[in-house]
Chains A and B, each alone.
Chain A
Amino acid sequence: MKFDTPATTNPIDRGRVVGVAHDRIDGPAKVTGTAPYAYERHDAAPQAAYGWIVGSAIAKGKIDAMDLRAAQSAPGVLAIVTHQTAGPLGKGARNTAHLLGGPIIEHYDQAVALVIADSFENARDAARLLRIDYSPEKGRYDLAAERGHATVPKEGFGGPADTAAGNFEAGFAKAAVKVDQSYTTPDQSHAMMEPHATTAAWDGDSLTLWTSNQMVAWAVEDMAATLKIPKDKIRIVTPYIGGGFGGKLFLRADALLAALGARAAGRPVKVALARPQIPNNTTHRAATIQRIRIGADRDGIIGAIGHEVWSGDLPGGGPEVAAQQTRLLYRGTDRLTAHRLAELDLPEANAMRAPGEAVGLLALEIAMDELAEATGVDPVELRIRNDVQYDPEAGPQRPFSSRKFVECLRQGAERFGWERRVPQPGQVRDGRWLVGMGMAAAFRNNLVAKSGARVGIDGRGHVVVETDMTDIGTGSYTILAQTAAEMLGVPIEAVTVRLGDSLFPKSAGSGGQFGANSATAGLYAACVALREKLAAKAGFPANQTVFEDGLVRLGNQSQPIGALAGEEGMWAEDRIEFGKLTQDYAQATFGAHFCEVGVDVDTAEVRVRRMGGAFAAGRILNPKSARSQVIGAMTMGVGAALMEELHVDKRFGFFVNHDMAEYLVPVHADIPEQDVLFLDELDDKSSPMKAKGVGELGICGAGAAVANAIYNATGIRLRDYPLTIDKLLAQREGSALA
């Protein structure tokens, strides 16, 4: 099904199942421990041996010699894989560094060997016996120091590196009110619950990987390219994923080394990264330096807006596209965005939840708070005044498909009690706490991706959905079941959803908050095809046939859907492909975050007291799981604001705090009441589902609302995340802190 004209009324609009809050259908299996994860596939790959990854002890240089003898003769050792034994390997198009390093070392903790043994403990112990001699080389580990050498990155995710409209420099120069500030965000780690893990088994020249990966088709392609074998010899199975946040978008060392290990050992091998290996071995969100200039008139109306971003990555890597939202969020005729990329020899940078906007809004939305203060316009009102209903770079000929930004601002402010905010900082005290309120815009592009599914129905009216779509804890199983139930007029209990298998039709996968809308739209297409088949069999004209209450009906005539499918059952497969609507219309999701914090008047400890947000993201397919997505993302925004930071050792070139005792993310005690409002919205240009993504929207801007609340509480304007005690204390002079 090609989606190239706006959706008209369709069966999803009935809203009997889709759009209704529903418990996760995979919930019981998960909470009872019966949902098998990648490292637990004893059922599918019995007698698996255990692989332990050895990571490089240097960040840059080469291996001079590897002495495997002691490890090879250690108890239980079956095989050792290194660059010398692995045979010729290619590299996946989506990997920057090689997943198996040596002799050249590209980053710290890059895998250089896999030790395979009969037990986990034996593998881990033997790994300690590897003697590796390195020749380290001088590396580049400091973004600020390399900023001057940064270059224009090639066009990739996020569009062109630079955009412009009007004449920014001239417009900014003549503005009555100017904000010109720099902001920084640190390297961050995904810190998902389940580590990267894979069980691999060969059957002749065919490879099966039970793994934890957000993008099945990408994993097949990149594994085929790395092993130099045909794609059809590779099966990826990833039905359950314990979180990803972008850290599992790509083929990683666990999968490659499990495959190589299984080949070397001649039996199935499983490999999981230990928690301390994850931050340096896998990808992370890159640190940024951002300069924002906004020129406005005295009423806060923006005339010029410029956002420049510097980030770093390994040679061949990509930028953090943190200026994305600045291209679309606010009005202004004179515009400039620019991304510059420095080469760094730190571990590989790549996508983490809402790449671009998550850190771009951390900066932009402080800048807007600064503009509000400079103009004396209320921060909510300032954003309302600068709303624009079309792509401001392209002009009115490219309107937004739907944009309820102003409604989010108004309704969010009202629910939160924004009118009680005292604009003057440092005025509100509650015991030892200085109390402040802050807000920020939420914005995230609405991406779509072609997505396929097949759907079958048996003689009892039971429906099966199969697609290689993944559920990374987001609720994919449930919304797909809702979609099939709605389309075929059966109860959700009659639907079984099977996901995450490369034998199933290719889907959009989970990333860029495109998964829910795209994958349900793909299933919608398959269901339309099945409805046509069923209607044809009934002898009904498809466009007049109603599917409801388990019946296929035309006027007074009806047949039970199962009976119509017959003993043989009936299947249909299709996919959704998106046409020009994403070019003709700017498509994005919107919201407004509100936050109240307390800051200890003496110690500068920050505690979030309450958060609230209003969001417009098209049809909300399952309000329950959508809310979970948003509050989880708001929580991650608190982490970004207050604590998350990979500390770079600029001598050795690695992330020092590489475990969860030292890399802090919020705990329950950090997160108070979170109020989430979804606005009623249908976006007929986004997909037949009229939905948009919501998995990333909640993190976008959340941290800036915290930052602005801290300013309101204390009068201290911090521009370097995370906003920790040491930074607040350094600026206590003249603030409301004691």
Chain B
Amino acid sequence: MKPFTYSRAASVEDAVAAASSGGRFIAGGTNLLDLMKLQIETPSHLIDVNHLELDRIERTPEGGLRIGAMVRNTALAAHPDVRRDYAVLSRALLAGASGQLRNKATTAGNLLQRTRCPYFYDTRMPCNKRKPGSGCGALKGGSRSLAIVGTSDACIAQHPSDMAVAMRVLDAAVDTVAADGTRRSIPIADFHLLPGDTPHIENQLKPGELITSVTLPNPLGGTHVYRKVRDRSSYAFALVSVAAVFDGQGGSRFAFGGIAPKPWRVAAADAAAAAGAGAVAQAALADARPTAQNAFKQQLVASTLTSLFRQKEARP
């Protein structure tokens, strides 16, 4: 960990003002601190946003739900409105990490967590995300856990979040405030970026821009499912995960985790639901370019969807 200075922001204005002269926000620190210890992240200044009053969950006038950026994963998963109206989000959260980590991890921080690619974590290895231009160690190396779609020759890292996959299926929006006070609402579909030639740029946030909340649109109703498939029963990142909402009138939507550099959703996959799990998988993975080690994820996406369709049909 390189020496850094630390300040505690008392207000949102305070936080973005402090960030305008450089520095990184820190909330739960469940990922950033690990990365700092490994000098994968080397901020010279940390702005602690834990004390901002961004820890509320409230209904919007339109009937949606605004989730403060500092709401902890545990609190979000347990919130009665989330459990009732956005059950897919609650289920996704509880499928992630461990109880201890969920107690610390925040809504905004979860969106910004970085990949679990092992080449990203070993600073002696090439990694375009960690060190632009150094190459991708994973492409011809150990890639079993990595992304199969949305990748580039520069990077095949996967996004590790469960929460974000559920937010993607719910069409959430990420609310931010910039250093100059400008507020904007970024659809989660656009929030995360594909790697292309710049895998080190992972999202739309500008330097110093702070996430203040995540807004969910009005409840979709229907049946909510989150299915996460991994190599052990708990406390492991997804090989494949699927967030699905079946509205009961034949409409369905699907988002996928573990397979792409961002929460993965394809309109054609939603539209293919009537044709069954295989068709949904095919549409979702139309542009897949897996490695030999992770090609199985294509089949696993289809299998997971089959399981999920079966689970849905088994319900009254």
User: Is the Cβ of B296 less than 8 Å from the Cβ of A726?
Assistant: yes
**Contact code string A31-67 (vs B, CB < 8 Å = 1, else 0):** 0000000000000000000000000010000000000
Bound form: Cα–Cα A664–B310 in Å: 29
Q: Known interface pairs A729-B296, A730-B296. Does A667 touch B233 (Cβ–Cβ under 8 Å)?
A: yes
Cα–Cα, bound, A656→B307 (Å): 32
Can you offer 26 A-B residue contacts whose CB atoms are under 8 A? A125-B1, A125-B39, A276-B38, A276-B121, A432-B307, A603-B229, A603-B304, A604-B303, A642-B231, A642-B232, A643-B231, A649-B142, A651-B140, A656-B122, A657-B118, A657-B142, A661-B116, A661-B237, A662-B116, A662-B145, A667-B232, A667-B235, A669-B232, A724-B231, A726-B144, A726-B300
Near A by CB (< 8 A), chain B positions 20-63 give 37-39
Choose one: B38, B118, B229; the contact of A605 (CB below 8 Å).
B229
Tell me if A69 counts as interface (CB < 8 A to partner B). no
Instruction: Using C-beta atoms within 8 Å of the partner chain, give the interface range for chain B.
Output: 35 or more
Question: Is the CB of A2 closer than 8 A to any CB of chain B?
Answer: no
B141 cross-chain contacts in A, Cβ below 8 A: 649, 651-652, 656
Which of A128, A603, A658, A730 gathers the greatest number of chain B CB atoms within 10 Å? A603
Q: Is A584 an interface residue (CB 8 A)?
A: no
A456 to B108, CA, bound (A): 63
Task: Closest A residue to B160 by CB, please name it.
Answer: A661
Whether B2 lies near A659 (C-beta < 8 A) is no
The docked-state distance in angstroms from the alpha carbon of A667 to that of B140 is 30
Chain B residue with the shortest CB-CB distance to A602: B307
B193 at the interface (CB under 8 A from A): no
Docked pose: A432 CA to B37 CA in angstroms: 43
B124 interface residue, CB < 8 Å from A? yes
With A642-B232, A662-B118, A730-B296 already in contact, the answer to whether A603 and B144 are too (CB < 8 A) is no
Give complex CA distance A725, B141 in Å: 20
Contact with B along A636-665 (1 / 0, CB 8 A): 000000110001110110001111011010
In the complex, which residues of chain B have a beta carbon less than 8 angstroms from the beta carbon of A124? 1, 37
Contact pick for A738, options B39, B122, B233, B306, CB 8 Å: B306
Contact of A603 among B119, B232, B303 (CB under 8 A): B303
> Chain A contacts of B140 at CB under 8 A?
651
Residue of A nearest to B142 (CB): A656
Q: Could you say which of A651, A670, A724 contacts B233, with CB atoms under 8 Å apart?
A: A670
Contact of A664 among B3, B122, B231 (CB under 8 A): B231
Given contacts A124-B1, A656-B118, A725-B300, 5 further A-B contacts (CB under 8 A): A602-B306, A602-B310, A642-B231, A662-B116, A670-B232
Q: Which residues of B contact A602 (CB under 8 A)?
A: 303-304, 306-307, 310
A534–chain B nearest beta-carbon distance, Å: 53
B232 pairs with A643, CB closer than 8 A: yes
Q: B residues within 8 A CB of A420?
A: none
From residue B118, how far is it (CB to closest CB) to chain A in Å? 5
Chain A interface secondary structure, helix, strand, loop or mixed? Answer: loop
- Is B39 a contact partner of A128 (Cβ separation < 8 A)? yes
Partner of A658, one of B3, B118, B239, B304: B118
- Specify the chain B residue showing the minimal Cβ separation from A431: B314
Which secondary structure dominates chain B's binding surface? loop
- CA A649 – CA B136 in complex, angstroms? 13
In the complex the two chains form, is A57's CB within 8 Å of B124's CB? yes
Contacts of A658 in B (CB 8 A): 118, 122
Bound Cα distance from A603 to B239, whole angstroms: 11
A738: chain B residues within 8 A (beta carbon) = 303, 306
Residues on A with C-beta less than 8 A from B311 are: 432
| A670–B304 CA distance with the chains assembled, in angstroms | 20
* A interface residues (Cβ-Cβ under 8 A, vs B): 57, 75, 121, 124-125, 128, 276, 432, 600-605, 607, 642-643, 647-649, 651-652, 656-659, 661-662, 664, 666-670, 724-726, 729-730, 738
Q: Which residues of B contact A659 (CB under 8 A)?
A: 121
For residue A1, give the distance in angstroms from its CB to the closest CB of chain B.
48
- Complex Cα gap A4–B231 (Å): 50
CA distance A708 to B239 in the complex (A): 24
Interface string of B209-243 (1 = CB under 8 A from A): 00000000000000000000101111111010000
Most buried by A among B137, B231, B299, B304: B231
Verify if B205 is at the interface (C-beta below 8 Å from A).
Answer: no
Residue of B nearest to A738 (CB): B306
Whether B288 sits at the interface, judged by CB under 8 Å, is no
> What chain B residues lie within 8 Å of A125 (beta carbons)?
1-3, 39
- Name the residue of chain A whose CB is nearest to the CB of B227: A603
Q: Are A276 and B303 in contact (CB under 8 A)?
A: no
Expressed in whole angstroms, the minimum distance between the Cβ of B244 and any Cβ of chain A is 14
B39 neighbours in A (Cβ, 8 Å): 125, 128
Chain A hits for B306, CB < 8 A: 602, 738
Min Cβ gap A600→B in Å is: 7
* C-alpha spacing A405/B41, complex, angstroms: 56
Does B125 make an interface contact (CB < 8 A)?
A: yes
Per-residue interface assignment for chain B, residues 126 to 157, with 1 indicating a CB less than 8 Å from any chain A CB and 0 otherwise: 00000000000100111011000000000000
B121 touches A725 (CB 8 A): no
B131 smallest CB distance to A (angstroms): 13
Which residues of A sit under 8 angstroms from B119, Cβ to Cβ? 656
CB distance from A121 to the nearest CB of B (A): 6
Residue on B nearest A124 in the bound complex, by CB: B1
Digitize B2-23: 1 where CB-to-A-CB distance is under 8 Å, 0 elsewhere: 1100000000000000000000
Please measure, in the bound complex, the distance between the C-alpha atom of A203 and the C-alpha atom of B229, giving whole angstroms: 56
Which of A607, A648, A652, A729 is within 8 Å of B300, CB to CB? A729
- Is B233 in contact with A647, judged by CB distance below 8 angstroms? no
| Known pairs A656-B141, A658-B118, A738-B306; A729 contacts B232 (CB<8 A) | no
* B116 CB contacts on chain A under 8 angstroms: 661-662
